[in-house]
Amino acid sequence: MVQDSRPYAKIPLKMPTKHIDTVLQHAGTAPYNPETGTAPVPLPPMRASTVRFENLAALEKAQRSKAAGGRATTYGRMGMDTHAALEQVFAQLEGGTHAYLAPSGLSAMTMVMLALCSAGDHALISDCVYGPMRELDDAVLKRMNINVTYFAAGEDLDALVQPNTKLLYVESPGSLLFEMLDMGAMAAFAQRRGLVLATDNTWGSGYIYRPLTLGAQVSIIAGTKYVGGHSDLMLGAVVTNDEKIAKQLNRTQYAMGYSISADDAWLALRGVRTMPIRMAQHARHALEVCAFFKGRPETVRLFHPALPEDPGHALWQRDCTGSNGMLSVELRLSPAAARVFVDALELFGIGFSWGGYESLVQLVSPKDLSHHRYWGEGQNALVRLHIGLESPQDIIADLTQALEQAAAVPG
Ligand SMILES: *Cc1c(COP(=O)(O)O)cnc(C)c1O
């Protein structure tokens, strides 16, 4: 592995630890000033477009390292030490060896597609994938003659492989219905057929689910969600443990000009330190809300893999170390009543994102659901909730009053 020439990329921990909670508190802290023996706790956001070299020998050393696939900065686009520290955090989270930053989760997805697929290639993609992948497919991949087949969990993948298939791209659990895929089985299949297995791991964010340790070679995190944790930044990361794939990602990231602000890297480093407590609290609150919905006559079905009755529960128990604040609920409400329910919520913002401290609601459109075979023939309203860090009693009181308003809708 080629060394990163940015000095703060090394997590300054002399004591080895297997515990990610410890790593997250010590990664990217600033080193001591050799003269004064002092240091701030956090590494400052190192903003720079231009990198200065002490002499030509230093410049040439950096260029040689870069040419050999190393992470030497010669210009600001790749970022300096704040970026390097964050790359290390993502690598540690996922148990990977290399991490590459992107300006959003979606651009991390485009980096993977463009690094791993060439014109004439074919990719198999799970039908529960993050929705805008289909936009990327329609707007860009088709023009590049990269073709895609969407498959449902449990489908016979051998029948879908073509001679030019290169990539198996999945998301587990899916971020609308939270269906768990069998990552180990996918990895075994990909290995047998000579495919790269890449997965969107925004749900797990490397904290409660680590697909690289289950056989995937590439894991993508939208840092916009639980890593940032405060609904105030856009960020993506691609992590791998494969040297050949790392080289492809490294070149593509640089060639495509994916660049993120040092301030955003800093915000992500700041956010990720509290991910252990935030994630656990979101998960607890979501389970309380599930228990509330179970007692409501409007509830048809809950989608949350930490629930024993969820069809993905056994896989979740086997592969995950926790859950988070995401759940969906199918409600026996007319379309008009479902709109009243969503509009009546006071603590829940209506919005597409999740992973911040606050509660969010999305009324999932039938069109978005139509791509997901896991949804089946469901005719009712589907509401996706991100359960925030508000008091669960207040969240449940809010849901109760909104359901009562929905019940008053005629018909
Ligand atoms: C939000 C999200 C993305 C995209 O991240 P952005 O930073 O919003 O571009 C990708 N995958 C999943 C599962 C997401 O929830």
Residue ranges of E strands in 107-209: 122-126, 147-151, 165-171, 196-200
Cα(48)–Cα(105) distance, integer angstroms: 23
Enter the DSSP assignment of 209: B
**More confident call, 78 vs 116:** 116
Which of 101, 35, 63 lies closest to 267, judged by CA? 101
Domain ranges of the chain: 7-273, 275-407
Going by CA atoms, what residue is nearest to atom 8 of ligand 1?
A: 105
Instruction: Please report, for residues 278, 308, 346, 359, 361, the alpha-carbon distance to residue 382 in angstroms, rounded to integers and kept in the order given.
Output: 26, 20, 19, 17, 11
For the purposes of burial, counting CB atoms within 10 Å of the CB of 272, is it exposed (0-12), middle (13-18) or buried (19 or more)?
buried
Contact assessment for residue 91 and residue 84, using Cβ atoms and an 8 Å cutoff: no
Tokens of 372: 């997901």
Q: What is the CA(283)–ligand 1 centre distance, in A? A: 19
- pLDDT tens per residue, range 291-317: 999 999 999 999 999 999 999 999 999
Which of 384, 386, 366 lies closest to 376, judged by CA? 366
Band (14; pLDDT cuts 50, 70, 90): low
262 within ligand 1 shell (Cβ under 6 A): no
- pLDDT tens per residue, range 62-106: 999 888 888 888 999 999 999 999 999 999 999 999 999 999 999
Alpha carbon dihedral 52, 57, 62, 64, in 10-degree steps, equals 150
Contact assessment for residue 94 and residue 212, using Cβ atoms and an 8 Å cutoff: yes
- pLDDT tens per residue, range 175-190: 999 999 999 999 999 9
Question: Considering all CA atoms of the chain, what is the largest pairwise distance in Å, rounded to the nearest integer?
Answer: 78
Above 50 in pLDDT, residue 2? no
Which of 233, 272, 335 lies closest to 91, judged by CA? 272
Q: What mean pLDDT, rounded, does the chain reach?
A: 94
Band (246; pLDDT cuts 50, 70, 90): very high
Mutation probe of ligand 1 site: the residue of 101, 128, 130 with most atoms within 8 A of C-beta: 130
For the purposes of burial, counting CB atoms within 10 Å of the CB of 133, is it exposed (0-12), middle (13-18) or buried (19 or more)?
buried
Q: What number of other Cβ atoms are within 10 A of residue 325's Cβ?
A: 27
Predicted pLDDT of residue 153: 86
Predicted pLDDT of residue 33: 87
Predicted pLDDT of residue 196: 98
Interval 357-366 mean pLDDT: 96
Contact assessment for residue 268 and residue 28, using Cβ atoms and an 8 Å cutoff: no
Q: What is the CA(350)–ligand 1 centre distance, in A? A: 17
Above 60 in pLDDT, residue 321? yes
Instruction: Please report, for residues 290, 315, 316, 374, 394, the alpha-carbon distance to residue 308 in angstroms, rounded to integers and kept in the order given.
Output: 11, 11, 10, 18, 25
Choose the CATH number for 7-273 among 1.10.260.40, 3.40.50.300, 3.40.640.10, 3.40.50.920.
Answer: 3.40.640.10
Band (11; pLDDT cuts 50, 70, 90): low
Q: What is the CA(287)–ligand 1 centre distance, in A? A: 23
Going by CA atoms, what residue is nearest to atom 4 of ligand 1?
A: 105
Band (5; pLDDT cuts 50, 70, 90): low
Cα(372)–Cα(365) distance, integer angstroms: 12
Going by CA atoms, what residue is nearest to atom 5 of ligand 1?
A: 105
User: Would you please indicate which residues are annotated as catalytic (active-site) residues?
Assistant: 77, 130, 200, 225
**Contacts (Cβ under 8 Å, ≥6 apart) of 140:** 110
Which of 321, 362, 306, 355 lies closest to 176, judged by CA? 362
Helices (H), 227-312: 243-256, 262-272, 275-294
Enter the DSSP assignment of 3: P
Backbone angles phi, psi at 368, to 5 degrees: -65, -35
Does the predicted model carry a pTM greater than 0.85?
yes
Q: What is the DSSP string of 84-123?
A: HHHHHHHHHHHT-SEEEEESSHHHHHHHHHHHH--TT-EE
**More confident call, 365 vs 377:** 365
Above 60 in pLDDT, residue 224? yes
Q: What is the CA(162)–ligand 1 centre distance, in A? A: 28
105 within ligand 1 shell (Cβ under 6 A): yes
175 within ligand 1 shell (Cβ under 6 A): yes
Contact assessment for residue 211 and residue 183, using Cβ atoms and an 8 Å cutoff: yes
Predicted pLDDT of residue 1: 42
Q: What superfamily in CATH does domain 275-407 come from?
A: Aspartate Aminotransferase, domain 1 (3.90.1150.10)
Which of 241, 105, 103 lies closest to 171, judged by CA? 105
Mutation probe of ligand 1 site: the residue of 90, 106, 172, 258 with most atoms within 8 A of C-beta: 106
Band (18; pLDDT cuts 50, 70, 90): confident
Predicted pLDDT of residue 325: 98
